[in-house]
């Protein structure tokens, strides 16, 4: 069982800086919040993957139920694959039936009764299945495109959407009822790609559901995460002062290799967004992935906030969490063949209770 290296500094780094200066550097860089912040330790467990072709190459979303069963949505394959808690493939869901496949599967979530909900933005619908892949029902709206979704404890739905009302393209974080009627909108962001320019460093708004039953929204042009209850009522803000990180010429050069449609051109931002992403565990801890490189190669620094929005500390991590559940962390990772896997990590942390309310 391999371990992810979460040390603040390697032995060579400590020796290089030496003595008192090393201690001051550590205090300046990492002693935020509690001086004795006990950082999580992650140990790799099961890797969830297809053992025969086709392989995963475009994992769009994953969801985990209370028993540890995992759903993986690969948008390239346009299917959802259901694995048990030991990594055994149980079911492949490709649509309502063989004659009605998904058009463009875009999000997946598991409800409190074990139903698997899959959004299809091509069909403007959410389609519900049993764990065995049996079609149960479908809800749809002709004026709303549905991307990521999360089924809440009372049957409501948190969804990142794009209204189809004839206006400019925008992304909206919505709370919907079971029939997809709107309850609240808690974020609306115009796409920067209204003309013929593309900014590869623009980050979409983020809409997460914590295991504590609260909703978390941010469009990270600033370091601010808004917290709401499932009715859309404001609870608190998580904010932090930060220095923007300038986008390097090397990063721009690498980004310019991406495909853009003919007639379009790149327009680069001067600075990165306030942070890259964030995730929330069962206990309401918020893990924010910053743009600050970690001392160990290949990783970034993460800010950690408690369930009241107070910063507890920081730690380096060289994997990107997708979700935390019951003292486990799940990440989408690339492998040598170019394919993707989902890996599960055991979380050893004194603050992890891992029980959803």
| CATH number, domain with residue 143 | 2.120.10.30
Taking residues 144-169, what's their average pLDDT? 94
Taking residues 255-265, what's their average pLDDT? 88
Query: What's the per-residue H, E or C state across the chain?
Result: CCECCCCCCCHHHHHHHCHHHHHHHHHHHHCCCCCCCCCCEEEEEEEECCCCCCCECCEEEEEECCCCCEEEEECCCCEEEEECCCCCEEEEECEEECCEECCCEEEEEECCCCCEEEEECCCCEEEEECCCCCEEEEEECCCEEEEEEEECCCCCEEEEEEECCCCCCEEEEEEECCCCCEEEEEEEEECCCCCCEECCCCCCCEEEECCCCCEEEECCCCCEEEEECCCCCEEEEEECCCCCCECCHHHHHHHCCCCCCCCCEECCCCECCCCCEEEECCCCCEEEEEEEECCCCCCEEEEEECCCCCEEEEEEECCCEEEEECCEEEEEEECCCCCEEEEEEEEECCCCCCCCC
Percent of the chain with pLDDT over 70: 88
The string of pLDDT tens digits covering residues 208-234 is 999 889 999 999 999 999 999 999 999
User: 18: pLDDT confidence band, cut at 50, 70 and 90?
Assistant: very low
The string of pLDDT tens digits covering residues 286-301 is 999 999 999 888 899 9
Average pLDDT value for the chain? 88
* pLDDT of amino acid 2: 37
* 357 assigned to some structural domain: no
Residue 339 scores a pLDDT above 90 = yes
Domain residues for the domain of 207 are: 11-348
> How many domains, in total, are found in the chain?
1
User: 51: pLDDT confidence band, cut at 50, 70 and 90?
Assistant: confident
**Higher-confidence residue: 251 or 23?**
251
* pLDDT of amino acid 36: 62
* pLDDT of amino acid 97: 85
* 250 assigned to some structural domain: yes
* 2 assigned to some structural domain: no
* 1 assigned to some structural domain: no
């Amino acid at each position: 069982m391999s371990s992810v290296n979460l040390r603040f500094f390697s032995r060579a780094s400590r020796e290089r800086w030496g003595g008192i200066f090393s201690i001051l550097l550590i205090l300046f860089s990492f002693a935020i919040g509690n001086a004795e912040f006990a950082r999580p330790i992650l140990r790799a467990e099961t890797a969830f993957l297809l053992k025969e072709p086709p392989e995963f190459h475009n994992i769009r979303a994953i969801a985990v139920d209370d028993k540890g069963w995992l759903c993986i949505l690969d948008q390239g394959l346009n299917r959802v694959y259901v694995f048990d808690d030991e990594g055994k493939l149980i079911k492949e869901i490709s649509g309502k039936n063989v004659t009605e496949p998904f058009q463009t599967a875009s999000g997946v979530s598991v409800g409190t009764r074990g139903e698997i909900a899959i959004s299809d933005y091509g069909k403007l619908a959410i389609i519900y299945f049993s764990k065995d892949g049996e079609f149960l029902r479908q809800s749809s709206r002709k004026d709303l495109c549905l991307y990521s979704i999360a089924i809440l404890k009372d049957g409501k739905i948190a969804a990142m959407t794009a209204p189809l009302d004839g206006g400019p393209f925008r992304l909206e974080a919505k709370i919907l009822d079971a029939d997809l009627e709107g309850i609240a909108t808690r974020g609306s962001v115009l796409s920067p790609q209204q003309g013929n320019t593309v900014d590869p460093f623009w980050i979409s708004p983020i809409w997460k559901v914590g295991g504590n039953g609260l909703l978390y929204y941010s469009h990270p042009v600033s370091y601010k995460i808004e917290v709401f209850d499932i009715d859309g009522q404001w609870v608190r803000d998580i904010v932090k002062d930060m220095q923007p990180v300038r986008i390097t010429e090397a990063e721009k050069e690498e980004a310019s290799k991406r495909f853009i449609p003919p007639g379009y051109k790149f327009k680069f931002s001067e600075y990165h967004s306030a942070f890259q992403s964030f995730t929330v565990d069962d206990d309401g801890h918020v893990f924010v992935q910053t743009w600050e490189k970690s001392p160990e190669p290949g990783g970034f620094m993460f800010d950690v906030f408690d369930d009241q929005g107070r910063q507890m500390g920081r730690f380096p991590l060289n994997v990107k969490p997708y979700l935390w559940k019951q003292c486990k962390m799940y990440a989408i990772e690339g492998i040598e063949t170019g394919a993707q896997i989902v890996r599960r990590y055991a979380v050893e942390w004194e603050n992890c209770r891992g029980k959803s309310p």
